[in-house]
């Protein structure tokens, strides 16, 4: 049933793509019109192409802010903040699951590892980026959890491949702190509503939760019924009139011979 | 001589009778469920039993005389005038009468729970005289009587409670008078 739900969600997302003005009649048509091998893997057409092929797009090295909006159209992204020791700048996707090219249906879950950058050392030894790490660990990983830093070089990794994708490939301007990337479409709204739950475990045992809640409810009802004071039925709680009725039956008379033994006479 | 069955029962016999009636009431599932919701249910059964046994045992046993064909034949043969009593001397005889107990609970509507228990009132009479006036038995007396109460379940006697061996007075009035069966 869960697979069916995912397929339905993917279908709905694809329908949302179809209703978009920039999209064509079908994803295959879109794929056919986009020349393969010339698109930047971080560009929205590449992501759309991967979604049409039901594979995971190659996002390693991309800026999360640049791919967040197009990813939200096709997949359920779950970014995970990672502190790296290498030179990966802040906000760069350093890993993904499933890997690029692996099967991933539209609406599927795509876990992205986003770099929080390398915290520079200061004189007192307290890393400057600790604040960012704290906010990342406490809340969701998004553009506001990965603040722009002027000293961190932002790679211009996506050269424009095609004229059509040029406008969208350009990384969006730096958002002010506390703002999310622009909502791509209406279908992506549930993904952004799940932002507070991004740090929760990916597998939530809903069945167990429902079973436990039902068990608690049943137990509560049983206890309530057991503790329910037994009311005397009828007459608004007045004690009923209990009586024992002796219904006499027929009398049996046993006599040897005649019952009348003698005549006493009239008195 | 206006003693009831309840007065004639000894404390031990009453306790045994109450135990049997309570056990029979417990066997009725609907009655048991009802009484479990009523506080002091056992007390109610006990009180109801006391009330039910406050009956004149001789008035109950006189039904045997009232339906006796011999007495009726004798009285009709006497040809007594109106207002003229006739006294009949009876031979030794036994009279038994079954009393079927049922618990009646009145909660606005009356609901009856017949118990699987039968009380049989037994009287062994000897030398009893019966007074008949205008076709009605008005009194009896002058004899001896052995009263007992038997508890029966499915035709099997469980208990036999002796109520007493009584020497009847000269005249024991039956109130009201019992008409002879015709």
Largest CA distance in chain A: 143
Collect all residues of chain B within an 8 Å Cβ-Cβ radius of residue A254: 93-96
pLDDT digits (tens, 9 = 90+) for A81-136: 777 766 778 888 888 888 888 888 888 888 888 888 765 555 444 444 443 343 33
**CB atoms closer than 10 angstroms to residue B100:** 15
- B129–A264 C-beta distance less than 8 A: yes
- B91–A261 C-beta distance less than 8 A: yes
SS3 for A208-267 is HHHHHHHHHHHHHHHHHHHHCCCCCCCHHHCCCEEEEEEEEEEEEEEECCCCEEEEEEEC
Torsional class of A75: left (φ above 0), alpha (ψ -120 to 50), beta (otherwise) = beta
User: What is the pTM assigned to this prediction?
Assistant: 0.46
**E strand residue ranges, chain A:** 76-82, 93-97, 109-115, 241-255, 260-266
| Partners of A254 in the β-ladder | B94
Collect all residues of chain A within an 8 Å Cβ-Cβ radius of residue B51: 243-244
Tell me how close the Cα of A227 comes to any Cα of chain B, in angstroms: 13
- B88–A263 C-beta distance less than 8 A: yes
Task: Provide CB contacts within 8 A for A148, sequence distance 6+.
Answer: A90, A91, A154, A174
Instruction: Give the DSSP H/E element, type plus range, for residue B23.
Output: helix B11-26
| Partners of A266 in the β-ladder | B86
Q: Is A9 exposed, middle or buried (0-12, 13-18, 19+ CB in 10 A)?
A: middle
Q: Are A130 and A119 in contact (CB under 8 A)?
A: yes
**E strand residue ranges, A36-195:** 76-82, 93-97, 109-115
Query: Which of A260, A265, A267 to mutate: most B Cβ within 10 Å?
Result: A260
Tell me how close the Cα of B8 comes to any Cα of chain A, in angstroms: 17
Question: SS3 of A36, please?
Answer: coil
Distance CA B94, CA B8 (A): 19
pLDDT digits (tens, 9 = 90+) for A149-192: 444 343 444 444 444 444 333 344 444 444 444 444 444 444 45
Collect all residues of chain B within an 8 Å Cβ-Cβ radius of residue A234: 107-109
pLDDT in tens, chain B (182 residues): 678 888 888 889 988 988 888 888 888 888 888 777 766 666 778 888 888 888 888 888 988 998 888 888 888 888 888 888 888 899 999 999 999 998 888 877 888 888 888 899 999 999 888 899 988 999 888 888 999 999 988 888 888 899 888 888 878 888 888 888 87
Q: Is the dihedral of CA B165, B133, B68, B64 positive or negative?
A: negative
> Is A232 at the interface with chain B, CB within 8 A?
yes
């Amino acid at each position: 049933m869960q697979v069916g739900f995912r397929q339905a969600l993917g279908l709905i997302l694809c329908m949302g793509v179809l209703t978009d003005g920039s999209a064509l009649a079908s994803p295959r048509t879109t794929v056919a019109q986009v020349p393969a091998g010339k698109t930047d893997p971080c560009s929205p057409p590449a992501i759309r192409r991967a979604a049409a092929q039901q594979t995971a797009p190659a996002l390693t090295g991309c800026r999360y802010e640049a791919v967040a909006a197009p990813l939200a159209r096709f997949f359920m992204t779950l970014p995970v903040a990672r502190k790296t020791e290498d030179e990966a700048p802040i906000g760069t996707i350093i890993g993904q699951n499933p890997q690029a090219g692996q099967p991933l249906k539209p609406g599927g879950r795509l876990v992205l590892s986003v770099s929080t950058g390398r915290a520079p050392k200061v004189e007192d030894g307290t890393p400057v980026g600790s604040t960012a790490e704290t906010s990342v660990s406490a809340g969701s990983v998004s553009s506001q959890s990965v603040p722009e830093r002027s000293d961190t070089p932002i790679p211009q990794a996506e050269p424009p491949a095609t004229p059509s994708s040029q406008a969208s490939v350009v990384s969006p301007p730096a958002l002010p702190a506390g703002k999310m990337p622009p909502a791509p479409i209406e279908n992506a709204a549930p993904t952004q509503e799940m932002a507070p739950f991004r740090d929760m475990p990916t597998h939530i045992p809903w069945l167990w939760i429902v079973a436990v809640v039902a068990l608690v409810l049943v137990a509560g009802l049983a206890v309530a019924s057991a503790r329910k004071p037994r009311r005397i039925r009828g007459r608004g709680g007045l004690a009923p009139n209990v009586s024992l009725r002796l219904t006499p039956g027929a009398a049996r008379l046993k006599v040897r011979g005649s019952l009348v033994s003698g005549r006493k006479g009239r008195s | 001589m206006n003693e009831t069955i309840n007065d004639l029962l000894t404390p031990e016999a009453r306790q045994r009778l109450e135990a049997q009636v309570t056990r029979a009431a417990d066997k009725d599932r609907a009655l048991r469920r009802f009484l479990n919701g009523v506080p002091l249910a056992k007390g109610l059964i006990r009180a109801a039993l006391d009330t039910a046994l406050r009956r004149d045992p001789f008035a109950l046993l006189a039904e045997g005389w009232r339906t006796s064909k011999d007495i009726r034949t004798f009285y009709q043969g006497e040809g007594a005038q109106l207002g003229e009593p006739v006294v009949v001397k009876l031979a030794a005889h036994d009279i038994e009468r079954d009393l079927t107990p049922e618990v009646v609970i009145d909660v606005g509507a009356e609901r009856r729970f017949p118990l699987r228990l039968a009380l049989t009132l037994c009287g062994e009479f000897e030398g009893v005289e019966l007074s008949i006036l205008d076709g009605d038995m008005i009194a009896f007396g002058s004899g001896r009587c052995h009263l007992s109460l038997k508890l029966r379940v499915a035709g099997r006697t469980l208990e036999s409670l002796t109520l007493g061996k009584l020497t009847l007075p000269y005249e024991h009035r039956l109130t009201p008078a019992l008409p002879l069966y015709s």
